[in-house]
């Protein structure tokens, strides 16, 4: 169904964006290192 496809796209987008955000946080806040 269409809702399932859109939901899967959201999940994939979230999985791709999450590691990027984590890297940005690690770089922006040296205290986490």
pLDDT digits 0-9 by tens, 1-33: 678 888 888 888 888 888 888 888 878 766 655
What does the pLDDT read at residue 2? 76
- pTM as predicted: 0.39
What does the pLDDT read at residue 1? 66
In the block, which residue shows the tokens 């964006």?
17
What does the pLDDT read at residue 12? 86
């Amino acid at each position: 169904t269409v809702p399932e496809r859109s939901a899967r796209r959201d999940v994939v987008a979230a999985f791709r964006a999450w590691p990027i955000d984590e890297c940005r946080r690690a770089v922006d806040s040296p205290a986490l290192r």
